[in-house]
Amino acid sequence: MEPPLASVDLRDYMWVTRDRLGSTMSGTTMVPLIVREVLKKILSGLGDVAGRNEIKQLQLSERSVLTQQLVSHAQRTPSELKAFRALMEIAEIDEPVADEFKAVVDRIPKSDLSPALAVHIVTTASKQNKLGETCRAIIGENQTGKSGFEKALKQKVK
């Protein structure tokens, strides 16, 4: 028996069967348009500051989706700073994101992380909020390594 829909492309309807954001087609098909636009700006060469500024206008649920997209991007391209900086911006608004930020930094081999990220972490560590506390924890836990990231943390701590 041949199915009557055998010649119909059903990929656009597959999202109904998915229980999580993302899909096998693009990874962002179920991400709200506004989040995709902000993410595109954040990861662009010229619009990253504008994109980070737009984070404040997003709803909590939109920031949550954006956080997950940024975590995925940071894990795929750990040497790029933009996703990490945007995660830190979100953590300033939504404190639990600070823990997600730390978890991403902890998961990635330190040799893959940028020394520029270390400088940003050290600068943020002076803040008296959850993100500052998280940054201080990252610094404290990464004092023994030899990677550029860890060396940058040590040099700035002195």
Q: What percent of the chain stands above pLDDT 90?
A: 64
Establish if 124 belongs to a structural domain. yes
Q: How confident is the model at residue 83 (pLDDT cuts 50, 70, 90)?
A: very high
Establish if 84 belongs to a structural domain.
yes
pTM, whole model, 2 decimals?
Answer: 0.78
Domain count, the chain: 1
Closest CA to 135 of 127, 143, 147: 127
Domain membership of residue 5 (yes or no) is: no
Query: Smallest Cα–Cα separation from 36: which of 54, 19, 11?
Result: 54
7 lies in a domain? no
In a domain, 96, yes or no: yes
Name the burial class of residue 101, with classes exposed (0-12), middle (13-18) and buried (19+) by CB atoms within 10 angstroms of its CB. buried
Separation between Cα atoms, residue 85 and residue 101, nearest integer Å = 10
DSSP readout, 32-96?
A: -HHHHHHHHHHHSSSSHHHHHHHGGGS-HHHHHHHHHHHHHHHHH-TT-SHHHHHHHHHHHHSTH
DSSP string, 10-40: -GGGGGGG-SSS--SSSS-TTS-HHHHHHHH
157 pLDDT more than 70: no
109-41-17 Cα angle (round to 5):
75
- Determine the straight-line distance between the first and last CA of the chain, rounded to whole angstroms: 74
CB 102, CB 134: distance < 8 Å: yes
pLDDT digits (tens, 9 = 90+) for 91-132: 999 999 999 999 999 999 999 999 999 999 999 999 999 999
Tokens standing for 12? 């656009």
Domain residue limits at 71 = 14-157
- Examine residue 2 and state whether it is found in any structural domain, yes or no: no
The pLDDT, as a whole number, for residue 25 is 36
